[in-house]
Structure 1
Amino acid sequence: MNAPTVSPLSFQVAAVQMVSTPSVDENLAAAAELIARAAAQGAKLVSLPEYFCLMGHADSDKLTIAEYVGEGPIQQFLSDTARRHGIWLAGGTLPIATLSPGRVFNTSLVYGPDGARVARYDKIHLFNYQRGTESYDEGRSIRAGKQTVGFDTPAGRVGLSICYDLRFPELYRGLGEVSLILVPSAFTYTTGKAHWETLLRARAIENQCYVLAAAQGGKHPNGRSTWGHSLFIDPWGEVLDVLPEGPGVVGGIVDPDRLLDVRGALPALRHRVLT
């Protein structure tokens, strides 16, 4: 049987799954190894998970490693790594300093193949969950962003979002028509088991685009358990690749012909009435 034809404009992408620790150096070394693996497999765009550089013991730990935009070892690592491999590198998230005492932005920075920063997105929606002994409140240490962000690649326009944003479909409508959505995340085991794949597939279906979700996946030294299941999903909502837990790489091809086929057969984006 002949292999299916793939458009010459197709673009290979990959999501890195990690189980990050309280050590920045340890996490950067782990990320470097996994990014190199993805690049060696042909990925032209690689996404890291939320908090790839630090899963601390306390919310305040992220304040101690916060960097100003354009300065600091974490940003230098991302820039150097993108340039070394000649890839688009979406840096999951890292803490970026604000003027608000005791708070940082939870920020996704994207670097082009030349190592230059091409996009910055500050997480808009801040996670808050309370049930029994499980309690999270990002608002204690994070300042919310205010606007959606996208950037252009050979694969088309890419929209940025982070973790809890996934529950707010209006954010994705605000991105406009995109070929790919990135969702770096650190979903808890509890909420991930219940909703993660359902929400990701819904965002792919309703926006008729690919979704690449890089996740934290496992039991961290700080005692937190994250759901993992990094996913690559096509515009029809089909799961093309998944990694349940542990460090690794998932991904596939962003195929413009597949985008055109789905949008042509069911032109839902053109049928929108409410904006």
Structure 2
Amino acid sequence: MEALKVTTFQAYLFWENTEKNLSNLSLRLSSLRTSTDIIILPEMFNTGYTMNVEKCAEEMHGITMQWMKSHAKRYDCVVVGSLIIKEKSNYYNRLIWMRPDGTFEQYDKRHLFTLTEEKTLFTAGTEQITVELKGWKIRPLICYDLRFPVWSRNVDTEYDILLYIASWPDSRIEHWQKLIPARAIENQSFVIAVNRVGYDGNEIYHSGGSMCISPAGEVIYYKPENEDLYTFTIYPKDLIANREEFAFLADAEKFKIIK
């Protein structure tokens, strides 16, 4: 396991405008002055969090997947974010883990938000994934998944980093601020959470609050309100020291979720 350079982009998103979002993201990423291992984008980074699936859904060979592939190659790093994918007659809020060589992993959002039409329009995922980068085991999840600790539970120390991408509104930002440190402490892992900023097409305000929390609950990075492209480094020694001093995970229940 090596030190990991992480770039988070807490972006302002243009409502249901894929071309403008991808152009803005490309422009902002061009200002990077350092190498990085991973670029993390918000939930539905190409459209904003919309339920207009017929207009905004893409297929797996679409423009956003091609953009992710080209930028992962350009910056020689993993690019991760979610978009609306249509497969046959189903729609998915799908997270893509795009590698520089064009190969990728995918995770479909498990918990669909009941206060919007997401639960009726989208198909829920059933499988977790664990990806690896520079020796780190990483569990990527999406927004509303944060509220469900069983789905996030680090059973048998399966991961070292819990990653959330989100479109979390300011009206419930206190929950975001409390739940992310809780997930880090209870799972003895780093938690990296990336939100968006600005108003969406439904006049819902998003105040960011993207952060990285250590396994001990310490704040490594936190940014409210403004659009922010930021790179920081996390170190394996901090993870190892915490788990060696406090072997809490060894005392946790072993269970499997019945899907």
| Common topology (TM > 0.5) | yes
Q: Residues of 2 paired with 1:186 and 1:172: CA distance?
A: 18
Query: Does residue 106 of structure 1 match 2:93?
Result: yes
**Alignment counterpart, residue 151 of structure 2, candidates 171, 182, 186:** 171
Q: Cα deviation per residue 1:208-249 (whole Å; 9 max; x = unaligned)?
A: 111111111122354221131111111111111112123212
Overall identity of the aligned pairs, in %? 27
Query: Does residue 79 of structure 1 match 2:69?
Result: yes
1:5 is aligned to none
SS at match of 1:78: helix
Compute the displacement of 1:41 (Å): 3.0
Q: Residues of 2 paired with 1:159 and 1:25: CA distance?
A: 29
When the two chains are superposed, the root-mean-square deviation of aligned CA atoms in Å is: 1.9
Q: Cα deviation per residue 1:138-169 (whole Å; 9 max; x = unaligned)?
A: 11321111111111110411101000000111
Q: Residues of 2 paired with 1:174 and 1:270: CA distance?
A: 11
Compute the displacement of 1:200 (Å): 0.6
Q: TM-score, normalised on structure 2?
A: 0.91
Q: What are the residue-to-residue correspondences of 1:78-157 with 2, within 5 Å?
A: 78-90=68-80, 92-100=81-89, 103-117=90-104, 119-129=105-115, 136-157=116-137
Q: Residues of 2 paired with 1:41 and 1:63: CA distance?
A: 38
1:133 is aligned to none
2:7 is aligned to 14
1:225 is aligned to 205
Q: What are the residue-to-residue correspondences of 1:190-201 with 2, within 5 Å?
A: 190-192=171-173, 194-201=174-181
Q: Residues of 2 paired with 1:217 and 1:196: CA distance?
A: 14
Compute the displacement of 1:188 (Å): 1.4
Q: Which moved more, 1:263-272 or 1:244-253?
A: 244-253
Compute the displacement of 1:274 (Å): 4.5
Q: Residues of 1 paired with 2:242 and 2:146: CA distance?
A: 22
Compute the displacement of 1:74 (Å): 0.4
SS at match of 1:228: strand
1:24 is aligned to 18
Query: Does residue 254 of structure 1 match 2:234?
Result: yes
Runs of 4+ with >4 A deviation: none
SS at match of 1:59: coil
Q: How many residues align?
A: 253
1:185 is aligned to 166
The 1:251/1:166 distance shift into structure 2, 3 A limit, reads: farther
In the alignment, structure 1 segments of 5+ residues that lack a partner are 1-7, 130-135
Compute the displacement of 1:179 (Å): 1.7
2:55 is aligned to 64
SS at match of 2:127: coil
